[in-house]
Amino acid sequence: MKNALITGSTRGIGEQIALELEKSGYRVFGCARGQHDRKNFLSIDLSEPNNAKVLYLKAKEALGHIDILVNNAGMYDYCPVEKTDFNTMQKMINLNFTSAFLLCSYVAQDMKQNMWGRIVNIGSISGAVGEANASLYSATKSALSGLTKSLALELAQYNITINQINPGWVDTNLSESALNEEEKKETTEIIPQRRFIEPIEIAKLCKYLVSQDAKGLTGQSINLCAGLSCGA
């Protein structure tokens, strides 16, 4: 039985990934900032860099070792560059990138010893093609892509793969709160498939990427975006 650590696991994309892996027989340890009554869970704020080590140790204590890491926790801010404040910048960098980097560094030790591991980073289409008025968010997700490629080279000889999924607009509570009905309709019109991605689609892809069937796939950023990255 494989053990998985998933960040941001109580709603949206992270929740679906956790449910999908559990349904497939994986043991899952999750985390989020809010409280939750599920087993193998830690309420923690990963925008505080020291908390990445706390999470890793708690997950390892509960599971014994970690075979799979899914870096899903993140935050989004729609703001012109000149109005982005320093505190928001530090918090987003810490949560979207630094926590992922640190968790990769911690679990790599276990994975190297076991000569097997899977890491999946949840990026964004904004990090692949850019997004006006979301430059900070785009930059953090683009940084994840660089990390994914570099670690794929570094860890390949240990039978460890690392890949990234870049979702486009996803049908979650976050998108519902960010867009009113008119804005959602306008956004749908610019997506080639004229629809939002469902969280289960991302979860299914993640399940494949952590499987043995995907052993030859590493260092890749996959745009799961209903065609949004292809242009108009």
Does residue 28 lie in a domain region? Answer: yes
Q: Which residues are catalytic?
A: 137
Does residue 48 lie in a domain region? Answer: yes
The pTM for the full model equals: 0.95
Q: Structural domain of residue 145, as residue ranges? A: 3-170+200-221
Does residue 177 lie in a domain region? Answer: no
Q: Confidence band (pLDDT; 50, 70, 90) for 82?
A: very high
The number of distinct structural domains making up the chain is 1
pLDDT in tens, 111-167: 999 999 999 999 999 888 888 888 999 999 999 999 999 999 999 999 999 999 999
Does residue 187 lie in a domain region? Answer: no
Does residue 186 lie in a domain region? Answer: no
CATH number of the domain where residue 213 is located:
3.40.50.720
Does residue 178 lie in a domain region? Answer: no
49 phi, psi to nearest 5 deg: -50, -35
Question: Would you state the structure tokens that stand for residue 157, as one six-digit string?
Answer: 């000889």
Residues belonging to the chain:
232
* Residue for token pair 């793969």: 161
Does residue 213 lie in a domain region? Answer: yes
At residue 62, the 3 state secondary structure works out as: helix
Is residue 120 within 8 A of residue 210, CB to CB? The reply is: yes
Q: Confidence band (pLDDT; 50, 70, 90) for 174?
A: low
Does residue 91 lie in a domain region? Answer: yes
At residue 176, the pLDDT reads 62
